[in-house]
A = this chain, B = another copy of it.
Amino acid sequence: MSRPAKAAGKGRKLSNFLCFAVYSANLAFGRAYKPLLDKVGLTYTQYIAMVALSDEDEQTVSALGEKLFLESNTLTPILKKLEQMGYIRRHRDPDDERQVLLSLTSAGRKLIEQDLGEAVIEATGLGDEFPAVQKTVSRLRDNLLRNTKPR
């Protein structure tokens, strides 16, 4: 759970755990987005996948997975749902039939471009700190992934 080495003894309180702060902040983000995403019929993860797909067309499932830190076991069902909703296209690469290429449809791109979540920036209450916090948390993530055995 990772807490500061100093806060020993009786200080084993939940609030001292950085991993809990991140865990609960993630839940809080999900709830902040919920009302916005309900309007377009997407879940939080589906939306994150759409944003990642908006980076470029014809990404493979693996490439998307590297961006999201997820694998095909999690992504395949999500991608099939998004395809079924008409927001993305999935088709096998003719040059390598093992790979599936992903692209947003025009409907999908339109949805991403209306830029939901602008309102959530306000709700973070971070003001000018916003970019610094974003960088710090990203660095934390990268450190953890680097210092953890790949499996």
Report A's interface with B, CB cutoff 8 A. 1-5, 12-29, 31-33, 35, 47-48, 51-52, 54-55, 67-70, 112, 115-118, 120-126, 129-131, 133-134, 136-141, 143-149
Leading 8 A-B pairs by shortest Cβ distance: A125-B143, A123-B147, A28-B144, A25-B141, A2-B120, A21-B137, A1-B117, A19-B29
How far apart are the CA atoms of A4 and B126 in the complex, in Å? 10
Interface of A is mostly: helix
Instruction: Please give, as numbers and ranges, the residues of chain B lying within 8 Å of A22 by CB-CB distance.
Output: 22, 25-26, 29, 137
Contact A1 B48 (CB under 8 A): yes
Contact B69 A28 (CB under 8 A): yes
Residue contacts A-B, CB under 8 angstroms, 23 given: A1-B33, A1-B51, A4-B130, A4-B131, A17-B117, A17-B134, A18-B121, A18-B124, A18-B130, A18-B134, A19-B48, A19-B120, A20-B51, A21-B134, A21-B137, A22-B26, A25-B138, A25-B141, A31-B144, A32-B147, A32-B148, A125-B144, A133-B137
How far apart are the CA atoms of A135 and B27 in the complex, in Å? 17
